[in-house]
Structure 1
Amino acid sequence: MFSSLITSRIVATLSALLVILVGCGAGIWQLNRAEQKIRLGESLSAKLQMPVLNVNADNLTLEQASERRILARGRFVQDEVVWLDNRPRPIPEGGSGASGQSGFYVMMPLKLEGQEAVLWVNRGWAPRNNQNRIELPPVKTADEIVTIEGVAFPHPGRVYELGQKGDPKARPRIEQNFDLALEAQSHEWKQLPFIVRESGSSKEDGLVRNWPSPTNGVDRHYAYAFQWFALALAGFLFWLINGLMKYRRELAVNGDRV
């Protein structure tokens, strides 16, 4: 039987082994991604229960501010807005809407009141004009001192980027990703070491801020894991059944009873 299943079927055995390894590896990766999202969601939920930090009053580091609620007061520097492209419309957990719709995250620096420092703010999501990709959506920005509240993060999220970054002096600035260090270098100003994702969807500024929970998509990861493990099992069963059938045929040819 060993010869029928393995020795005489080296190519089939190696192919089945490859399918099993790929399926199990991808399934385990999907389970790990689900676990990471669950841990991130638990960490964020715990930190959101902590007191709000005021960047105008405190000199905060990234470690102190990360995933904490932030209060900031200042004036937006409208001429330095960065439009982060290829961002899906944020849909909260249990919400509905055009989740596949692509658009921009609107990154805008906030000159803090009473300080020389700048805080970069992810003001929200705006839709993209698919017919004219150069045309930017209308966004209202108050030309006065405002108070915003949001949650601090190291960056606004990253997407796969091809080619070089755009010219920081070009207008409008449409980028794939956002780098705090590069912004500080190009502007030569003092800025806080984190960005704030603005909260509050009630503002009439044309932006969407229905930010989803970090645990969104956990069920999808479990579903993908099941599919990959099922593929690995199917590969093993296909190899085993075909091997057993070959073994039975050999027994019949040799005149042995099956």
Structure 2
Amino acid sequence: MLGRRWITPSWLAIALLLMAVPTFITLGFWQLQRAHEKELLLAAFAGNAGAQAIPLEVARQQVKGEVFPRVEVSGRFDLQHGYVLDNQVRGGRLGVLVFAVFEPADGSLPVLVNRGFLATAADGSRAPIPTVEAGQRILHGLYAPPPGVGMRMGGNALARQTQWPKLTVHIDLAEIGADLGRGLDSRVLLLDADAESGFEREWTPQIIPPERHLGYAFQWFCFALAALVIFIVLHWRRARSESN
């Protein structure tokens, strides 16, 4: 029976192994760190829902990165303009998210307000969108980045629509600002839950969940192991017979 012997690898093979394995392992640990960060973020998001509200103008100056403070702002709704984000899913149900434009009393940039989720019935029908109330109001909610835009197809559909509220498949604050003819805050306001509003408001950050980061980490560690196994298999070969 022929045994096996170690075949001296080339310098190129060694160099590739030394680059690949540490890189894959580093990426794996980085994904584990990202998973931990997202867990902390989700916990902070949930905790802020019941936190003391701070003025919107203060949050605008302080907030950086993935932070979701609960804010308070006084002002009026724009009664003429609104937007409906289509093809949204909550709890396995299809529906829409309804957005309104809110004008702070201090004259600062308007903020787009996420009023909440409305489910679509099995026959495709949907309850009428509750109208916004006129007059001075004080809003409370989470100050958060807008929903991710994702894949863009078909260009800007807002400019082609004449009926309000306008329907969209993504929330692009630059496009909405251009559609309104004025600037908008770079974040949106996720209104506090209100059973009498007619909307469902169960907010979660629009982020990659921790579970997916753990999956990515597992993949990177598998790549590192696979690279090491392939290297060994290629260089630990059967010894050739004398006749060969």
Taking structure 2 as the reference length, what is the TM-score of the superposition? 0.67
* Aligned match of 2:142: 151
After superposing the two structures, state which structure 1 stretch, 20-29 or 30-39, moved more.
Answer: 20-29
Specify which of 139, 145, 154 is matched with residue 129 of structure 2. 139
CA deviation map 1:133-188 (0-9, x unaligned): xx766432344445431011243443232342223361352334333344334323
The change in CA–CA distance for 1:228 and 1:209 in structure 2 (over 3 A counts) is same
- One-letter amino acid matched to 1:175: T
Q: What aligned pairs does 1:1-258 form with structure 2 within 5 A after superposition? A: 4=7, 6-7=9-10, 23-24=24-25, 27-28=28-29, 30-38=31-39, 40-41=41-42, 51-55=52-56, 59-60=57-58, 62-64=60-62, 67-77=68-78, 79-89=80-90, 97-98=91-92, 103-112=95-104, 118-127=110-119, 138-145=128-135, 146-168=137-159, 170=161, 171=163, 173-189=166-182, 191-192=184-185, 194-200=187-193, 202-205=195-198, 207-212=199-204, 217-244=209-236, 246=237, 249-251=238-240, 253-254=241-242
Q: Aligned-residue CA RMSD in angstroms?
A: 4.3
Q: CA deviation at 1:52?
A: 1.6
The sequence identity of aligned pairs, in percent, is: 22
Aligned mates of 2:166, 2:45 — CA distance in 1 = 31
Gaps of 5+ in 1: 90-96
Matched residue pairs, number?
A: 232
Decide which structure has greater strand share.
2
Gaps of 5+ in 2: none
- One-letter amino acid matched to 2:204: P
Taking structure 1 as the reference length, what is the TM-score of the superposition? 0.64
Aligned mates of 1:5, 1:127 — CA distance in 2 = 65
Q: Does structure 2 retain, via aligned residues, the 8 Å contact 1:104–1:128?
A: yes
Q: Does structure 2 retain, via aligned residues, the 8 Å contact 1:116–1:190?
A: no
- One-letter amino acid matched to 1:234: A
Q: Does structure 1 retain, via aligned residues, the 8 Å contact 2:143–2:190?
A: yes
